[in-house]
Structure 1
Amino acid sequence: MSPIIIKTIQFFLSLSLLIVLHELGHFIPAKLFKTRVEKFYLFFDVKFSLFKKKIGETVYGIGWLPLGGYVKIAGMIDESMDTEAMKEEPKEWEFRSKPAWQRLIIMLGGVTVNFILAVIIYIGMAWSYGEEYIPADSLKDGLLVTEKNIGDKLGVQTGDLILAIDGEKIEKFGALPIEIVNGNTMTIQRDGRTFEQEIPVDFIATLLEDEDKIRFLSMRTPFVIREVPEDSQNANIGLQEKDAVIGINGNVVHYQDEIVPILTENKGKKVQLSVLRDGATIPMEAEVSEEGKLGVIVGLSSMEEYQEKGYFKIETVKYSFLESIPAGIDKGVSTLSGYVKQMKKIFNPSTGAYKGVGGFAAIGGLFPDSWNWPAFWSATAFISIILAFMNILPIPALDGGHVMFLLYEIISGRKPSDKFLEYAQMTGFFLLIALLLFANGNDVYKWLFK
């Protein structure tokens, strides 16, 4: 099956699950407070529905426009903009007739469910799969900067250890790139000294110039022979699997990043190698190709081998069911916190982060090319966090806009007029359309020009 089809299936399955549960977050408290719910829809039913069935007082259906979903609650000005019913006298079963605290709970139900769902997924993943990571401070001789221009912009060099971002210790190497993107300062250890380094305000814009290079940090790896192909120019000099090159032309080397520049300088020439095998050092003469290669395949066969040889550690954590609960909550809170930091960057024009805002294509890109349950649930939990945060923003037409007006009513004792709420809903709707066009326009631009 095509990777695009697999991604699309995962995207719609995840989106459908999140929408239905979000709307249930509104539907259930509405019913508990005896508020009539006229419609419950997955996707929008502009002009027609793919499916609908009335059960009791509620029409349940599936629309054709996959931009979200909704519950239509009687006596409420919402995205349906049904203002005719608002001209009549309030009925006891209508939203507007309920106490402000009940209306607030109804409106907060969707984002609450989204966050709780994400936490439940993270709990389930911690319990089922555990966690495996490389401690950031375990890298034997620092990290590798694979893109020098990006490293120079950031002020990081190969061999550095990044100990903390904004004063918070970096525990996991895999979390380093996103922490840098979200952060303002780094604590770096270089050549035995530790110092603070500011992260450039526009560093995100630098990364977005070439998104293929966004993983500009890696682990340093030794030049260990995995295979010598038969057609290699050095097939007959005696190199064997698991030989480690530790010297070239008298230069002591430990890592591939130290060897590559020397080979580049000696293109088309012969070089003297020092090869470590079973604890003994063996001299060899090798030929460097015109491309600056030795003609061998390098690298250890597994991450465990790197750990055995002391290049870094691998931490494996298994959680009991009870232990997975706080682990899942911590993951949910940290993911939300990280996303809030990203949004702050986006709303600061000087960072250039707004260029990275994406729409449906970007969200679909969170899913893997092949079916993978851990990856699917991880992406679903993250999108659920995004939906929770975006929906609570104080923008009319979103849950957060209704919450904002309800809090004003509770604090001031004065309820905004229906006409004001109607105009606010229209303003918010057009703002959301503009944001939607901008985000998906970015996707189209990247597809066409990058």
Structure 2
Amino acid sequence: MSSILIRSIQLLLSISILVVVHELGHFIIAQVFKVRVERFFLFFDPWFSIFKKKIGHTIYGLGWLPLGGYVKISGMMMDNKNILSKNKNWEFRSKSPIKRLLIISGGIIFNILLSILIFTFLLFKYGETYLPTKNVKYGIEVDSIGEKIGLRNGDKILFINDKYIPYFNEIPKEILLGNSITIDRMGHIIKLPLDDKKKKFIFDRKELNFFIKPRVPPIINYMIKNSKAEKYGLKNNDEILAINSEFVLFSDQLKDLLSKYKNENILISINRNGKLIQKEIFLDSKGILGIYLKNFMDLDQIFLFEKKKYSFLESFPHGTKKAYDVLKNQIFFLKNVFHIETKAYKQIGSFFSIAKEFPSKWNWGIFWTLTGTLSIWLAFLNLFPIPSLDGGYILFIMIEMITRKKINEEIIERSTVYGFVIISLIMMSIIIWDIFKVFIS
């Protein structure tokens, strides 16, 4: 099964879970207040549906357009059936403002709860593994983005915004939030300023990968089949010590040396279980050995990780905090989208970009982490006071509660139509932009 198909299946399953839970929130609270739900659909069904069945007063179905889903609540919108009828006690419009507010908020509430439950379960099952910043003993390795903001291989990060960051995984986020980085560069303490011009290098890239990571020794994790490394007898777990007469202490140095000796024979010295072994290898014009080196997560014998396990009860408050932290990071990114200088808008994407975040091999841990992240984000986006979103209805109901005057249903319906058109245009623009990024750029 191709990686594209696996990613697509994961995305479709994740979206299906989010949509069903969201609409279930509206449905359950409507049922609690004895409001009829006429339709409950996963995905949209313009012109026809894949499946539908009526049970009680509700038609349950599966649409063919996987861009969301919906519930149709009786008396929520005007139509030919109820435009001349009096309010009936099972209609949405017959209920008090607070009940209508809860029904509309049901989807948002359920998405928040889903996110909290997912992160709670993940923490209970897997716990958390952290690398304390103090244990990043060799400093950092940076890519071209890290270099552009002023960092160098071997730098040790001391403070961000004059604050010590206890865990390494928090450092990239803190750099995006911060105004300065204090580093130890070979014994010299340097304070690097951070501004929007520098941060644009982080946002202005095709993939949101890490631009810094702990510096590690060059130890082979595995080799590409039929590669030069395999052909010349290198093995997994070999530690590369030198190329010709030049010592290699870290992975970034190995990359530089292999680039230096393209189209040449090299003498590669390795440590294999305490024995010194040397191999003569001819490098091609690309300077590629065909090996993947271990990263810091593979080297727990070198880096001392902290592992936290949570009991069932402990996992709930930590799962709630995790959902909150994810939302806070997403809001920070959204704020940067409107700072044109950062170029954060380039990271906006549709389902194409979301699909790329799922792994090419099925991994339930990553799947549920991304689903939990998308769930809290969906809840937040639905709070926007735009007609046709839940937040638009919430705004109308709150105005009614404050003024104690019911807003004309025709105004609500027209606003909803305009809101739907605006959101559709925005979605189409994002999809076109994403297609350009993924398939053209």
Same fold (TM over 0.5): yes
The one of 242, 245, 256 equivalent to 2:241 is 245
The answer on whether the counterparts of 1:207 and 1:214 sit within 8 Å (CA) in structure 2 is no
* Whole-Å separation in 2 of the counterparts to 1:264 and 1:141: 23
* Whole-Å separation in 2 of the counterparts to 1:189 and 1:302: 20
Amino acid at match of 2:301: E
Deviation at 1:185, TM superposition (A): 2.2
Amino acid at match of 2:337: I
Q: Encode CA deviations 1:209-258: one digit per residue, 9 max, x unaligned.
A: 542584332221224578999978xx89xx99756637986x87632434
The one of 397, 422, 430 equivalent to 1:406 is 397
Deviation at 1:415, TM superposition (A): 2.8
The one of 301, 318, 321 equivalent to 1:308 is 301
What's the TM-score, normalizing by structure 2? 0.84
* Whole-Å separation in 2 of the counterparts to 1:268 and 1:163: 41
Amino acid at match of 1:114: N
Deviation at 1:112, TM superposition (A): 0.9
Residue aligning to 1:173: 168
Relative to 1, partners in 2 of residues 1:275 and 1:323: Cα closer, same or farther, differing over 3 Å?
A: same
The answer on whether the counterparts of 2:243 and 2:257 sit within 8 Å (CA) in structure 1 is no
The answer on whether the counterparts of 1:273 and 1:285 sit within 8 Å (CA) in structure 2 is yes
1:113 paired to 2:110: yes
Deviation at 1:207, TM superposition (A): 4.1
The one of 78, 92, 99 equivalent to 1:95 is 92
Residue aligning to 1:344: 335
The one of 211, 214, 217 equivalent to 1:219 is 214
Residue aligning to 1:388: 379
Query: Identity across aligned pairs (percent)?
Result: 36
- Give 1:152-171 correspondences, 5 Å limit: 152-163=147-158, 169-171=164-166
Unpaired runs of 5+ in structure 2? none
- Give 1:20-419 correspondences, 5 Å limit: 20-77=20-77, 82=79, 85-147=82-144, 150-163=145-158, 169-181=164-176, 183-191=177-185, 192=187, 197-203=192-198, 205-207=200-202, 209-212=204-207, 214-223=209-218, 245=241, 254-258=249-253, 261=256, 299=293, 303=297, 306-309=299-302, 312-419=303-410
The more displaced of 172-181 and 409-418 is: 172-181
Residue aligning to 1:17: 17
Unpaired runs of 5+ in structure 1? none
* Whole-Å separation in 2 of the counterparts to 1:370 and 1:266: 35
* Whole-Å separation in 2 of the counterparts to 1:208 and 1:364: 19
Relative to 1, partners in 2 of residues 1:328 and 1:167: Cα closer, same or farther, differing over 3 Å?
A: farther
Deviation at 1:335, TM superposition (A): 0.6
* Whole-Å separation in 1 of the counterparts to 2:25 and 2:277: 70
Q: Encode CA deviations 1:138-193: one digit per residue, 9 max, x unaligned.
A: 2113111122xx22432222222345556665444344444444x24243322356
**3-state SS, counterpart of residue 241 of structure 2:** strand
- Structural RMSD (CA): 3.8
* Whole-Å separation in 1 of the counterparts to 2:402 and 2:222: 72
Count of residues in correspondence between the two structures: 437
Amino acid at match of 2:318: A
